[in-house]
Structures are given as structure tokens and as C-alpha cells.
């Protein structure tokens, strides 16, 4: 476990506008279906990391003579609590994209997606908060530029 900076790229966004017709419903269904496992993985990792922090805090309150060998090994491993920043890059769907977006690979679409990813990455890299280590008590921070700063 080391301090870590992660760049997580999601090609589908769980957030979106309210569907207006059946085609929009199908497109939103794909967005949610494809983005949910990634968000679930991040949330699960965060829960596990927080549980490790809580376990460490609890073990620090136990008298040293009551600690098992495994408890001591865990405390040694968690002596320097790893801090993790996850920079979440989420593709921002174009208004004209349809429910075919998961299999539409025309040259024009690919160039638009590459350019969009490039622009999103540039925008994200301008925000330097993700370079700051999260407080030891938190241990992990997820930075989502689009959610926090929609400019």
C-alpha cells in the first residue's frame, strides 16, 4: 500500500438528462448499465479503504499486550496510511448521440471522441487539487471535475 494517484476513465456517464422518448430511454439505459460497475468498484474500494482506517484506529486503542501477531503486523503495515486520489474522467455525451453509441465506430465519431477526451483531460489537469494528498483521517478522495465544476 503506497500513496497512489489513479486516473479512472469512464466512457459512459451515469448522469444525464431526463429521457424524452424511447430512443433516449435506450441511450440512458446503456449509460447507466455501463457506468454502474465502474462506480461500484470505486465505491467498494473506498469502503474497504475506510474500513482499514477504522480498524487501524480501533487497534490503536487496544492495549499492546492484547494485540495478536496479525494485529501488530497490520498496524505496522498501516503505520504510514496510504493516501489515494482518484481523478475521475467521465465522457460527456453529445446531445446528438443515440443509443448506438456503444457500437458506432465511424471515423468521424472516433475523432470526436478522441478530441472530447483530450479536451476533458486538459480541463481536468488544470485543476490541481488532485495533487494534494487527502487528510490521513480520510485517506481517499475522488475528484470529478465535471461534477464539481461544470465550466
Per-residue model confidence (pLDDT) at position 66 = 94
The candidate with the shortest Cα–Cα distance to 134, out of 91, 98, 90, 81, is 81
CA proximity to 135, closest of 66, 71, 84, 87: 84
Question: What secondary structure letter does DSSP report for 9?
Answer: E
Q: Phi/psi of residue 45, each to 5°?
A: -60, -40
Q: In what order do the strands lie in the sheet with 84-90?
A: 4-10, 84-90, 140-143
27 CB neighbour count, 10 Å cutoff? 22
**pLDDT (tens place) for every residue of the chain, 151 residues total:** 688 999 988 888 877 788 888 888 888 888 888 888 888 888 898 888 888 888 888 999 999 999 999 999 999 888 877 889 998 888 877 777 777 777 778 888 889 888 988 988 888 888 888 888 888 778 888 888 766 544 3
Which residue range(s) make up the domain with 9? 4-148
User: Position of cell 475522488?
Assistant: 142
Is this model's pTM higher than 0.75 or not?
A: no
Judge whether 139 and 84 are in contact, CB under 8 Å: yes
The total number of structural domains in the chain stands at 1
Kindly give the pairing relationship between strand 4-10 and strand 140-143.
unpaired
Query: Which pLDDT value is given to residue 147?
Result: 60
Confidence (pLDDT) at 69: 95
Amino acid at each position: 500500500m503506497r500513496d497512489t494517484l489513479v486516473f479512472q476513465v469512464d466512457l459512459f456517464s451515469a448522469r444525464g438528462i431526463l429521457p424524452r422518448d424511447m430512443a433516449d430511454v435506450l441511450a440512458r439505459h446503456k449509460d447507466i448499465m455501463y457506468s454502474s460497475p465502474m462506480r461500484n468498484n470505486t465505491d467498494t474500494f473506498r469502503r474497504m479503504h475506510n474500513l482499514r482506517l477504522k480498524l487501524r484506529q480501533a487497534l490503536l486503542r487496544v492495549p499492546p499486550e492484547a494485540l495478536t501477531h496479525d494485529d501488530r503486523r497490520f498496524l505496522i503495515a498501516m503505520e504510514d496510511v496510504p493516501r489515494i486520489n482518484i481523478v475521475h474522467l467521465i465522457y460527456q455525451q453529445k446531445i446528438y448521440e443515440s443509443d448506438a453509441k456503444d457500437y458506432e465506430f465511424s471515423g468521424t465519431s472516433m475523432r470526436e471522441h478522441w478530441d472530447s477526451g483530450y479536451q476533458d483531460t486538459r480541463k481536468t489537469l488544470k485543476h490541481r487539487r488532485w495533487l494534494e494528498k487527502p487528510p490521513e483521517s480520510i485517506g481517499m478522495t475522488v475528484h470529478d471535475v465535471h461534477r464539481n465544476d461544470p465550466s
